Amino acid sequence: MCGLHAVLAALKQHPDRLDTIWIGAERADRRIGAVVEAARSAGVRFQKVPRVKLDRIAEGERHQGVVARLRAATIRTERDLETFLPTLPPQPLLLVLDGVQDPHNLGACLRSADAAGAQAVIVPRERSAPLTAAARRAASGAAETVPVFEVSNLARSLRTLKDAGIWIIGASQDAPAPLSEADLTGASAFVVGGEGEGLRRLTREHCDLVVHIPMTGTVGSLNVSVAAGICLYEAVRQRNSVKK
């Protein structure tokens, strides 16, 4: 795991999963000091090393002067999802990624999900980026706060969400209905497709509604993480309007 935000979030959320933290000996600023203080408070071992060693440990990833080694986490599966759903609040907001294969996009989607208050992100086990150091750094700490469920059969998991009373909304630029016309005030799960391909046919067939994000410029599509953020925040906007 690389980066200040990611390591600090891990120290706050799951310090038991951190084995060792390496800190660049050349850095002695306030932000690095916060990492050192958090590591001391959590009882996590850390050591200062030259930048060349830190670069080697990070294996080419941008590290901002701090790298941590995580103990392997238990992978959440379909079975975990089934037991998780009854614990959700009355109007949950979930994000489903149908084949996002770039780890930076995965991390950015997690960051948007956390910022919008989504309760979970669901990804297929195949054709999906793993939660690598690059994904965690792009998530800026959200990988430690948002539960991620890896499912072997995405269509079956969408049916599970429906059985739990969650409305499945797909996002696709060729959909006739604009995002703003969808009622997102109830239990909802947004499904966004992977880079280039978009929603797969079977995934789309399991959606209760498919909407598009209006585009007024010259580009034909948005980055998947941007699209996910727009969809999630439209749900947040609608829900906040209802509360007023």
- Exposure on the CB side of residue 193, measured as CA atoms within 13 A: 21
What pTM, to 2 d.p., does this model score? 0.78
User: 4-70 in CATH: which number?
Assistant: 3.30.1330.30
User: 78-243 in CATH: which number?
Assistant: 3.40.1280.10
Residues of the chain with CATH 3.40.1280.10: 78-243
Tens digit of pLDDT for each residue in 215-231?
888 887 789 999 999 99
Tens digit of pLDDT for each residue in 96-130?
999 999 999 999 999 999 999 999 999 999 989 98
Residues of the chain with CATH 3.30.1330.30: 4-70
Mean residue pLDDT across the chain:
91
